[in-house]
Amino acid sequence: MRFLGINAVFHDPAAALVVDGEVVAAAEEERFSRRKHGKRPVPFSAWELPEQAAAWCLAEAGLRPEDLDAVAYSYDPSLVRRETGAPWEDLRTTYATRAPSFLATALPGLDPAQVRFVPHHVAHAASAGLAAPYEDCAVLVCDGRGEAVSHLAGHYRGGELTTLAAQELPHSLGLMYEEVTEHLGFMRSSDEYKVMALASYGAPRHLDAMRELVTTTGDGGFTVERVDWSGFAKRLGRGETWTADHADLAASVQTRLEEVLLELAFWLHDRTGARCLAMAGGVALNCVANTRLLAEGPFEEIWVQPAAGDSGTALGGALHLSQEFGEPAAPMRGADLGRGWTEGELAAWLDVARVPYTRPENLAGEVARALADDRIVAWFQGRSEYGPRALGRRSLLAHPGHARNAERLNEVKGREQFRPIAPMVLESRAHEIFGRGPVPSPYMLFVHDVRPGWRERIPAVVHVDGTARIQTVSREHDPLMAEVIERFEGLSGLPVVVNTSLNTAGRPMVDSPRDALECFGSSPVDVLVLGPFVVRRAA
């Protein structure tokens, strides 16, 4: 059976296709439209659909809209409480109610009756609990908001979800984090990860106040009081320089978030007795909190869906319908679910661009040599990643042994200098270099302590607090990248390379060959690897 999932109502519109229980394609609309996050998260944009992503998913599988058994829309407008008085809520709800007609217009041939509304947090939960490699697991969802709640705690057993708790709005951990993001001069529903990075530069000196403002209720829920953020630090305008006060505020909010998640996890474990926890929702992208949950919480294993934010509800909605229609969902096999190109297509793009290129006999060896020579390499291989992390498909690679490369890459990308860059490491070598976080860690959703003997050897990827957000690489799942790292180790003695997303500030991650060529042409990158082909910067 064939199920298309659609996320559209808030932000990060995306589409995903599940056929016979297998995820065959998934992509965010931003990768096609080249508009960061696809659209702004305001009610006026709720009608905008991931039209290009949905059309591509169908084309990838050779399907037409009329071939679908059902379409999941990851929001159920019947659950919205209209009496809340939230500005423009009626407009958002009206657009969502009419989504079947909008989708039928965007996908000619689709019967509007085929569209099913899946509650937002159920879609989040399915994207984790049904995609995780577990038959039985607890599931925890935290984000900004859905229809009427901001959180779900439940238990998946045999593909069936039992909801054990859900926190009603206006109480929301995600909205609290969005508010402090905006107060610190960043863009809400977009830059929350910057607050997490900034927190490492501060001390949680406002933690007692945050503990009074954010509390758990003992029944699986929590309360978040209204916060006067100006009482802790001056509001920053976009681009204004942060101070120690702002870093301390970020640290205080981050620490309290971690504490609350731990309390929720212990409550959930007591109710389920589950050994494993699956997580989704935007808060699950907080890799610092994830590591603390694993290190100090009650669950033996934690699995976080790589597209844990709202884009992942497209996947969850499709998986939920598949399960509901009696087609058990298979676990995700990887995040490389987006567009890919043949060697012939890549060569044609290079020819159109009229750039000189080579096809080396030993691609891994040539790239390893470039990295050892301290070149920055734009790396474009296979199908693009689903979710916000560059996982060796659309990446910028560099030498981790030169401290200046952190500053250098942030300059290339045009972003804040406090932002860390990440290491890719051979899975077989990860334990000797990194501690505390889980191994394997293929989706870059946990932080790990860098062992003291290695901090001086790979300074470019060590954050100010001595941690790194690692991605483990295995020869089984990515043999080419594993060979690059192995050959780089042979030249440098380091089984680690720098990996950050292939994009510049304010732009979506590179997705197509054209995107890659434009990025290479407009930024100080030394080498572009496009499939088997290599383009070098002219001297």
Choose the catalytic residue: 11, 121, 183, 399: 11
76: left (phi over 0), alpha (psi -120 to 50) or beta: beta
Q: How far is CA 125 from the centre of its chain?
A: 15
- Vertex 244: Cα angle to 241 and 245 (nearest 5): 95
- The residues that bridge with 305 in the sheet, in sequence order, are none
Q: How far is CA 110 from CA 63, 81, 448, in A?
A: 12, 30, 46
Helix H or strand E encompassing 167: strand 160-168
Nearest to 308, CA basis, from 273, 280, 340: 280
Within 8 A by CB and 6+ apart from 56, the residues are: 15, 25, 27, 32, 339
Class of residue 522 by CB neighbours under 10 A (exposed 0-12, middle 13-18, buried 19+): exposed
CB 355 within 8 A of CB 347: no
SS3 content of the chain, % helix, strand, coil (to 5): 40, 20, 40
Q: How far is CA 127 from the centre of its chain?
A: 13
CB 531 within 8 A of CB 346: yes
Q: How far is CA 425 from CA 391, 421, 466, 496, in A?
A: 11, 13, 17, 5
Side-chain-side CA neighbours of 422 within 13 Å: the count stands at: 27
Tell me the H-state helices in 373-512: 404-413, 430-433, 452-455, 479-492
* Separation between Cα atoms, residue 247 and residue 386, nearest integer Å: 31
Active site residue 11: yes
* Separation between Cα atoms, residue 313 and residue 447, nearest integer Å: 24
Torsion 214-215-216-222 (CA) sign: negative
Nearest to 157, CA basis, from 139, 171, 175: 139
* Separation between Cα atoms, residue 154 and residue 511, nearest integer Å: 35
> Mind spelling out the 3-state secondary structure of 497-519?
EEEEECCCCCCCCCCCHHHHHHH
Q: Which amino acids are annotated catalytic? A: 11
